[in-house]
Structure 1
Amino acid sequence: MGEVSGYYEPLLKETDEFTGNKKTPLWVSSAKLALKAVMCVIFILWVAFIFLRPAEFMSNFSDTLTNATKGTVFGITGSIFLLFSAPILIIAFLAIPHLILSGEDEVQVKKAGKGASFRLWTFPVLVDGPFGVVTAAEMIGIVLFAVFTVWAVVMYTIQNYKILGEFDVAFKEKCIFLLELTGLRFGFIGLICLAFLFLPVARGSILLRLIDIPFEHATRYHVWLGHLTMALFTLHGLFYVIGWAMQGRLIEELLAWKHIGIANLPGVISLAAGLVMWATSMPGVRRINFELFFYTHQLYIVFVVFLALHVGDFVFSIAAAGIFLFMLDRFLRFCQSRRVVDVLSAKCFPCGTVELVLSKPENLRYNALGWVFLQVRELSWLQWHPFSVSSSPLDGKNHLAILIKVLGGWTGKLKEQISSLSDGNDDQSETQTLLKHYQKITASVEGPYGHESAYHLTYENLILVAGGIGISPFLAILSDILHRINDGLPSLPKNVLLVWAIKNSDELPLLQTIDMEGICPLFSDKLNLEIKTYVTRETEPPLEEGIASKPVSSSCVFPSLTGRRMSGLVGTGHVVWSGLYLVASTIGMVICVAMLNVLYINPFNVTYWWYKGLLFMGCMAAGIVIFGGLVICLWQLWERKTASPKEDFNGADDLAIKQQREPRMDKISGQEQYVSTVRYGQRPDFGEIFGSMSERWGNVDIGVILCGPPALQTSVAKECRTQNLKRRNNQSIFHFNSHSFDL
């Protein structure tokens, strides 16, 4: 809590009760403030230009700027790129020094002060409906895009009728002309939305790290923008189809591939690919058949390439920046995912949950609310599945753990693989077990992704709400807080309530995978921890409750002989190398375009629009692969050089990890340093829970972090909103944070 509401200071740079570190140097604060101001000005001017572009005066101003700058070697393509795409790349460039100055270990917290305050990003406004849970800040974004779309349609409609009034033709010809002109306008509005569409799904993007939006949140924005973009492109194509049908030349126009001007057939192919992706991304299809959604979504390559062929290079440059940043991220992820990662241990729990412990380098940076995408090539070469990290970065320097709930075919096969390895461990030698392991389990990892800052450390009071396997990230949070208390590191949480809803009591052992007293003895002196567990499908405890039953049905530990660790190329990785990769790739693209114009396009008078669009895409790819690829090679060499030789695991290291992750079953809940209750046949009453916490903790900010199914998200968000709206001065403000991932 701060004296000035909403004011944040870096905890590790501030001299306070948690740390004796000095304050942030004045030049660092000034430089960060200046960079942020410049980025804000560029972004506001860019958004204002795009928003006002449909107006006639801004259209004329845009044409004037284009004509004034098209005399360079880059031609009109460079002029349009400068207006529509360059600003977002400039902001990305400026974000690099800003993130470097912010520091890799900086934790942002509010100064202690008088009371709680509302925040747009954590105040749920809508909790039901097609958008799911929407915060106030997200609602502002939705409204802005809706207003822009309506504004653009209205302005372009007015302009269309003005243009139509200048022609003295028959009514039918006027209708056809109006249809085609309207279709053209919808296509332009769709391109503007496309300029934003790929930004949220660049998982390790500098921009996402700058504004601290984790990938699981950004994915929702991509979904919303995808619906809007495809609706506009569908209207774009539909208006043209109707006009061509009225002229009686529908098939001829659909198959036309003009050399000068718009090539229709590539546009048809691009739109068809987009419609297939759109149809299979609907919630019903996506949840019932995820594999169909995943495979058809790879058609984005067809969609983008044929879009470039359809409109040519200079029109495509309107949306080029977002696509370029996505291509940067995709190539980096490809390079990271080629590395095979050692699985140090694997466990199967009776409740149908699998725990994997993966090998990672010591310098891999992530926070407790991280995600990884996992591929097991023996199960599928194409499928990548997201999982929350269940271990704190302080649990160990060289390993990372994830919990996987067995729900479908892929996870079922994974459990069978682990069970088969575990069953054979008793009858085989260690060498045979190792050979069997390396033959059958080969993991590849993308990430970790997540918030740039560990926001769970920014609240003194936390309510963690988990549904089923949603307990996974909260195990990491609890471990992280306990490690920080034990090691004397900055950590703000003083009161933590964990509410866990599960279907059956066989899931209870998952909570015991974290040895709280082993991490931080006598932690109750500094942390008030309460755990409330609700077993919804059982009305009474099972007969064996209270007996120290073994929580793991099968497990196997594999000593790592190869030292194959995760790569730190993607996620919240090294800012300097990420920045060099972005800068080198962008410069490479510019050089490729310039050389292409000087050595080929201008001397040979290449004028085919579709061909120049393809060449422009080639220059984007060449800049990333050649120039960016060189940086990646140097980055990987640097990783190997700076890696400690002690990072290679041996049997002793593996045994230590196993002992650290093995639950302690010899303790009874009542003897521990926290209050733990298990209620059977009940669901959490969030009204009663939140109300009692508000009365107990008083006028404070309470961070509510949720990980669970949509119904649970809705219930918790609705209660947060209700409590905030009826709040009195002496009561708490609840800040809703969702950690639920839904592709």
Structure 2
Amino acid sequence: MDRNSVTEPLILTDGLDLAYVNKPSLFVSFAKYTLKIVMWFLFLAWVLLIYLYPGEFGNQLVGKLIQATDGTVFGITGSLFLVFSGPIIIIACLGVAHLILSGEELFQKKSSKHPRFRLWTFPVLVDGPFGVVSAAEFLGILLFVLFIIWAVYAYTLRNLNLISLFQLPSKEKCILLLELSGLRFGMIGQLCLAFLFLPIARGSVLLRLVDIPFEHATRYHVWLGHLTMLLFTLHGLFYVIGWAMEGHLLAELLEWKNIGVANLAGVISLLAGLLMWFTSFHPVRRNYFELFFYTHQLYIVFVVFLALHVGDFVFSIAAGGIFLFVLDRFLRFCQSRRTVDILSAKCLPCGTVELILSKPGNLRYNALSFIFLQVRELSWLQWHPFSVSSSPLDGKYHLSILIKVLGGWTAKLRESILNMSEAEPKIEPTQLQRKITASVEGPYGHELPYYLMYDNLVLVAGGIGISPFLAILSDIFHRVRDGRACLSVPRNVFIVWAVKRSDELQLLSTIVVESISPLFSNKLSLEIHIYVTRESEPSLEEGKVHEALNSSGCPMSNCGMSVLVGTGNNIWSGLYVISSTVGFGILLALMDILYIKPYKVSAWWYKGLLFVACMIASVISFGGIVVGLWHLWDRRASSQDKDDVAKIKPDSEQHDGILVHKESNQNYLESSTILKYGSRPDFEEIFGSLCKKWGHVDVGVMVCGPPNLQSSVAKEIRSQNVRRGRHDPIFHFNSHSFDL
């Protein structure tokens, strides 16, 4: 086989193999350690300041900090921005340096001779509104609950002390208390808003820094969203009740002050937030996903009119997280403009579609990554997330995804591929080019393939949830075959897969391995237990596989994915973040010097609008310059691969080769597989047998499937860990399910 085939595994190329032989130097280690200490100090100081702010001491402390930074060109807006938003932006900039220094670091297995519990992987709550909650997440929820209780208590005391200074009738005292309470709930909501946008910046430096992938972080955004909107709803409700008691509700709702808050802008922002909130509840999101998705685009209205409502200096309290989100959103917009070729599309009889997408050789991802996909022939607006089902070692110029046909969009995609497959014999090969094109955002996901940290893996999947585990399995096969079993490769892999019907078993054939050593079983112990829940015996019909070769498969025509992604090149993405941040400060200063002060602009709402405009303009102008240079660098890097890419074999040879490899691969998988019809997994029995078999070790358990599957596995893991004996393993729960 030609060494540049798309099926050629990568060994030490473009940073995709994380088993390096060179340890970081003493200087690099010291620099990383120093950066980590500084970032932790800033983060803890920031959180402590927000915690203390509702009380008298915290309010006085913020006042002193404002006085210390007052008198600058930015005024009180700059002071509040520096105090409340500055720390998180500084951490992001320092995080860039940390990621750059970590880029070539040796990745070693972090297994210990003495297994121990970890807060992030120990499930505490397994049923309820939060889903499966780890010990670390439970502590985070507890801290937020305590903060809300403390803030309400502290503000209530301040309100009562303030009211006691005035001699007012009982009705007016009640109205004043309602309005003061509404004001305080609005401020608490503003403090929560400072965190709300941080989890949904998909390629965020902050998420990469703590290695929390976007699919996990979305649940934090959901929790924070419910809390923030509850606080803002109480904020508006208390004011509405107070104004109604005063008898001028409509006049207050329509009021738009120049000095002070603009009530009408607040009403518009709150209505947009309520629409997003109501359509984000699980029944609506599950049954009417498009309604949820399109309504959520009202976040632009929510943010802009919030700035008009409170003005620039109050808005600056939550501006840090919003600014980082704008950075990520603009970069995603630039990346998604490129059209990506679908090299091949295949419809399996089980109703699953396999797509192979073109990518440049220098685009980095791992077996747990995922992408957002848009097929313009189907819709210009819909984006859908899919886990990558291939390992980066499968090929340098492509990646694959598996798509289960579940809704209207996926049904249209399958129908298009079927039509192409039936029409191919009647069409000239030159007419087959670019019949289906796509736009891609990503890849996103874990910064490092954490499954390599475990010697023992349990992979539990439901239906199409097997997709990311196929990538893991392929990745492990490649590493063992290449003789790297001693370098961060699991030794024992136990797979539990529950499917409804046996036709889904064909998904196992999508794993591509070039060759399997005769001694493969000596290096890796693999067991696959498959439960076919709705059949009592094997099906007699297999069905036909429909395949359409969609293009030449050659990335020379710049038809691969764009590398403009936050999880891509650390240096370019770091320059983008830093240049946009510096540009934001420059534009704010120029606006103040050249426009606000000379023209004596004083309207709060207008200054809030200018603040948002500077935020967006800095990303587009200063950050856009870096993105443009990054794009030129990408084109030059791609052009250097043209000579190698030209040697790639035609598609027919590539796919014939893949089929040959799958035959040998299938034989090994069949020998490792146990099929059970008409039953469901008994996790108590499964984990009990593993306890006796593996002994006192760390076991990484990964689950990808519906919520009830995750709850069942988490409940059993919690039970096993709580009543474990001295020589039993410790199970670590890791969810890989995407619930958007």
Per-residue deviation at 1:33? 1.0
Greater CA drift, 658-667 or 36-45 = 658-667
Counterpart for residue 336 of structure 1? 335
Counterpart for residue 60 of structure 1? 60
Deviations along 1:659-709, one digit per CA (max 9) or x if unpaired, are 455476756977668521111001011111111111101000000011101
> Which of 613, 616, 636 is matched with 1:618 structurally?
613
Counterpart for residue 689 of structure 1? 686
Q: Which amino acid aligns with 1:576?
A: I
> Which of 495, 499, 510 is matched with 2:496 structurally?
499
Counterpart for residue 316 of structure 1? 315
Q: Could you state the TM-score of these two structures normalised by the residue count of structure 2?
A: 0.94
Relative distance call for 1:194 and 1:402 in structure 2 (3 A) is same
Matched, 1:590 2:578: no
Deviations along 1:459-488, one digit per CA (max 9) or x if unpaired, are 000000110001100110011111112224
Is the CA contact 1:108–1:455 (under 8 Å) kept in the aligned structure 2?
Answer: no
Q: How does 1:155-194 map to 2 (within 5 A)?
A: 155-194=154-193
What secondary structure sits across from 1:346 in the alignment? strand
Measured in 1, the distance between the counterparts of 2:120 and 2:650 equals: 42
Counterpart for residue 283 of structure 1? 282
Is the CA contact 1:345–1:658 (under 8 Å) kept in the aligned structure 2?
Answer: no
Is the CA contact 2:20–2:106 (under 8 Å) kept in the aligned structure 1?
Answer: no
Counterpart for residue 556 of structure 1? 549
What secondary structure sits across from 2:426 in the alignment? coil
Per-residue deviation at 1:386? 0.2
Specify every segment of 5 or more residues in structure 1 that has no aligned partner in the other structure, as ranges: 1-11, 13-17
Relative distance call for 1:521 and 1:392 in structure 2 (3 A) is farther
What secondary structure sits across from 2:615 in the alignment? helix
> Which of 559, 564, 567 is matched with 1:569 structurally?
564
Counterpart for residue 536 of structure 2? 539
Deviations along 1:205-264, one digit per CA (max 9) or x if unpaired, are 001000000000000000000000000000000000000000001000000000001000
Counterpart for residue 360 of structure 1? 359
Q: Which amino acid aligns with 1:469?
A: I
Per-residue deviation at 1:22? 4.4
What secondary structure sits across from 2:361 in the alignment? coil
> Which of 605, 630, 634 is matched with 2:629 structurally?
634
Relative distance call for 1:381 and 1:106 in structure 2 (3 A) is farther
Counterpart for residue 443 of structure 1? 438
> Which of 694, 709, 721 is matched with 1:724 structurally?
721
Relative distance call for 1:105 and 1:388 in structure 2 (3 A) is farther
Counterpart for residue 43 of structure 1? 43
Relative distance call for 1:168 and 1:93 in structure 2 (3 A) is same
Is the CA contact 2:513–2:661 (under 8 Å) kept in the aligned structure 1?
Answer: no
Deviations along 1:544-565, one digit per CA (max 9) or x if unpaired, are 5xxxx57624443531363411
Q: Could you state the TM-score of these two structures normalised by the residue count of structure 1?
A: 0.94
Measured in 1, the distance between the counterparts of 2:637 and 2:427 equals: 38
Relative distance call for 1:150 and 1:597 in structure 2 (3 A) is same
Q: How does 1:3-14 map to 2 (within 5 A)?
A: none
Counterpart for residue 468 of structure 1? 463
Is the CA contact 1:95–1:207 (under 8 Å) kept in the aligned structure 2?
Answer: yes
Measured in 2, the distance between the counterparts of 1:423 and 1:74 equals: 65
Per-residue deviation at 1:21? 2.5
Counterpart for residue 456 of structure 1? 451
Relative distance call for 1:310 and 1:729 in structure 2 (3 A) is same
Measured in 2, the distance between the counterparts of 1:336 and 1:663 equals: 36
Is the CA contact 1:125–1:136 (under 8 Å) kept in the aligned structure 2?
Answer: yes
Matched, 1:408 2:407: yes
Deviations along 1:110-144, one digit per CA (max 9) or x if unpaired, are 1552x211000000000000000000000011001
Q: Which amino acid aligns with 2:537?
A: E
Is the CA contact 2:24–2:105 (under 8 Å) kept in the aligned structure 1?
Answer: no
Measured in 1, the distance between the counterparts of 2:570 and 2:652 equals: 34
Greater CA drift, 102-111 or 212-221 = 102-111
> Which of 681, 687, 700 is matched with 1:703 structurally?
700
Matched, 1:737 2:734: yes
Highest RCO, 1 vs 2 (Cα 8 Å, sep ≥ 6): 2
Measured in 1, the distance between the counterparts of 2:728 and 2:345 equals: 45
Matched, 1:512 2:475: no
Relative distance call for 1:563 and 1:69 in structure 2 (3 A) is closer
Q: Percent identity?
A: 63
Measured in 2, the distance between the counterparts of 1:622 and 1:671 equals: 57
Measured in 2, the distance between the counterparts of 1:630 and 1:80 equals: 29
Measured in 1, the distance between the counterparts of 2:383 and 2:669 equals: 39
Matched, 1:234 2:233: yes
Counterpart for residue 431 of structure 2? 432
Is the CA contact 1:485–1:491 (under 8 Å) kept in the aligned structure 2?
Answer: no
What secondary structure sits across from 1:363 in the alignment? coil
Counterpart for residue 77 of structure 1? 77
What secondary structure sits across from 2:726 in the alignment? coil
Is the CA contact 1:305–1:617 (under 8 Å) kept in the aligned structure 2?
Answer: yes
Deviations along 1:312-364, one digit per CA (max 9) or x if unpaired, are 00000000000000000000000000000011000000000000000000000
What secondary structure sits across from 2:452 in the alignment? helix
Relative distance call for 1:638 and 1:415 in structure 2 (3 A) is same
Is the CA contact 2:432–2:550 (under 8 Å) kept in the aligned structure 1?
Answer: no
Relative distance call for 1:448 and 1:56 in structure 2 (3 A) is same
Measured in 2, the distance between the counterparts of 1:649 and 1:50 equals: 57
Is the CA contact 1:43–1:88 (under 8 Å) kept in the aligned structure 2?
Answer: yes
Per-residue deviation at 1:492? 2.6
What secondary structure sits across from 2:79 in the alignment? helix
Measured in 2, the distance between the counterparts of 1:656 and 1:75 equals: 67
Is the CA contact 2:19–2:488 (under 8 Å) kept in the aligned structure 1?
Answer: no
Matched, 1:578 2:577: no
Deviations along 1:542-595, one digit per CA (max 9) or x if unpaired, are 235xxxx57624443531363411012225211111110000000011000000
Measured in 2, the distance between the counterparts of 1:198 and 1:20 equals: 35
Per-residue deviation at 1:27? 1.7
Matched, 1:676 2:669: no
Deviations along 1:374-408, one digit per CA (max 9) or x if unpaired, are 00011111100000000001100000100000000
> Which of 477, 481, 484 is matched with 2:472 structurally?
477
Counterpart for residue 4 of structure 1? none
Per-residue deviation at 1:96? 1.1
Counterpart for residue 32 of structure 1? 32
Greater CA drift, 660-669 or 482-491 = 660-669
Counterpart for residue 710 of structure 2? 713
Specify every segment of 5 or more residues in structure 2 that has no aligned partner in the other structure, as ranges: 1-11, 13-17
Per-residue deviation at 1:106? 4.5
Count of paired positions? 718
Deviations along 1:629-675, one digit per CA (max 9) or x if unpaired, are 00000111111112211465777253454245547675697766852
Is the CA contact 2:516–2:665 (under 8 Å) kept in the aligned structure 1?
Answer: no
